[in-house]
Amino acid sequence: MESKTKKPSIKSSKTQNDESVIPDHGTRSSHADKVLEWIDETFEVIIYPSGFEDCIVGVGERFGGPPVAVLDVEKMFKKMEKDGMTREEAIEYFEFNILGAHVGEENPVYLHIPEFKIEGKTKGRKGAQTE
């Protein structure tokens, strides 16, 4: 895995000459490919950290700002753990190299989806409820 001091490369949904850029890392799901295809067809430029395409859950918009990629932080942590990092290393890498990589107004949003229990049921991630 990359060292803590190396910044992850940033990918854009389009190049400057408007050609599609959808890198294939061989581990993406068909859902991730469909999300990237939708982003490529719908938005002029969406920036996201390279290697985390399958963690994109959508595109966010806010008044006065450009549309930005929204990534699921837990999916990012699990991806880094699968690549051999501990949870602590994944958190540190995320905070230092990804969250700290400011690329301007097009900075992605990193979504934390809480999981919690209410009256014996687990709620949170993807609306799952279990007894």
Q: Could you write out the DSSP letters of every residue in 17-58?
A: T--B-----S---HHHHHHHHHHHHH-S--EEETT-GGGEEE
Let me know: does 94 contact 87? Beta carbons within 8 Å: no
pLDDT above 90 covers a percentage of the chain that reads 52
Least Cα distance to 69 among 95, 36, 102, 97 occurs for 36
Find the mean pLDDT for residues 66-73. Answer: 95
Q: Which of 25-39, 70-84, 87-101 has the lowest mean pLDDT?
A: 25-39
Least Cα distance to 79 among 50, 39, 122, 114 occurs for 50
The answer on pLDDT for 7 being more than 60 is no
Please state, in angstroms and rounded to a whole number, the distance separating the CA atoms of residues 86 and 70: 24
pTM value is: 0.69
